[in-house]
Structure 1
Amino acid sequence: MTNVRDLWATRSYVVEQMGGKAPDLVICNSGLTEAGYRFGRALPEVEEETVSERRARVRQVFLSNLEESHTVMSTKIDGFVGMTHLWAAEAVYHGHETQFLYVSSRQAIDAGVTVPGYVIANWAVLQLPKVLQVNLGRSAEMASGACLMLPFVRTGMTEAYAENEKVFGRWQPRMLEPFEAARAVTELVARPARELNLGNFELLVEGTVEDTRYRWKGVQLDVQEHDLE
């Protein structure tokens, strides 16, 4: 979601389809990521390139890379915040409990290289359930939220890397098929919303290419403070 006006335009239709109520379940997801770039690293030299040519090339790559990261972060962070603001308010107004599921990535807690915007966006997502609860105050029981940290799933965006173990090999023997990821999410959502509320859940993939297994694991993110010497 990149246009809040489009988001608002969906409100009336969804409420009408729900019989005048807020939805029972809102799943926020965005698989957009960068193509990959050398974050924080200088570009390699090009033979016989002049200083002015290099300066122009570096500038263009710099701008293109940051624009790509900005698109990834704004799509996910702005989109998820917008969806939450809209449907949590409707849940409170209609007195109808709504469950939010935020699709993050294992990159949020196990960052990979070349996709800084994607990693940061998925980390930010993990804060939404708590932020929502704090802001709703006494109405917090009307909306619950949980984050799902998924591994690599074969989609139109990841198809090009589906056979590249350097991309997914540290987490899984192969990319999950969409129906496998959907089945895993469905199994988790079958649990009571109050049990999942404020939780972070990581989908682990084990076994071999021929015999792939998956399981959910709860992840606790602890903040530790210490005095400076």
Structure 2
Amino acid sequence: MVLEFRKVNPETDFPALARCFFESYEDPPQKFFHAWFPIHGDGTEAREAAIAEAATRLRTWQAQDPTMHWHQVIDTDTGRVAGGALWNVHTENPFASEEHMEASWFPDDGSRRYVEQVLEQHGAPRARVGQRPQVYLFIIFTHADYRRKGVAQQFMNWGIAKADELGVEMFLDSTEIGRPFYEANGFIYVEKNVIRPQTDTPDEAWKETVKKAGDHSDWWLMWRPVGGKYEEGTPKPWEKS
């Protein structure tokens, strides 16, 4: 088996990549995935529609945002996608201007209000400490059939090489299970981020989204300093006066 690292071709690759994306987060199931890539309805038809919508949205995001760099790993024996990753390469402060992402992949009701709080809370810690050029790991996944075969490390190697080439820091938001992998690659824990949307007037759409996405999710903001070297006790860039 040869697992080959490739740049994603936005004209052809997103349908298969999106399918691998869903299958990876379905095994084991991870509720938070529903906030970003929901399945509206039940059954095979609804799931297929969700995968198609995800492929279209990922391609649109790529076309609209020059900081995005998608890569995939392909099993050359079968042509299957083994995993994918999206890095944002920011040569300037990504938070220089305030932007609000509208969760247009949900109807304009309580479900969208819920998810927009998720998006805002998810990005808040990095917006506070990461006001500098950086390389950010937005998405990474490996299909269950290809785990523990070095797929994620291929993606990480690309991101680290790019950050070191540019002489910039790196950030990512990790689940608890991912922390050991990132720490092994020189990332340092910054803070825990508990995402918990709130409203005093939840409609049925809000309540249904809570059932599917969970009433909270836990993330760990992680940071890799320029060059990957950090001396314990040294003030971090956001701690300097």
- Which category of TM-score, normalised to the shorter sequence, fits these structures? under 0.3
TM-score (structure 2 length as normaliser): 0.24
Larger Rg: 1
TM-score (structure 1 length as normaliser): 0.25
Structure with the higher fraction of residues in helix conformation: 1
Q: Which has the higher contact order (CA 8 A, sep 6+)?
A: 2
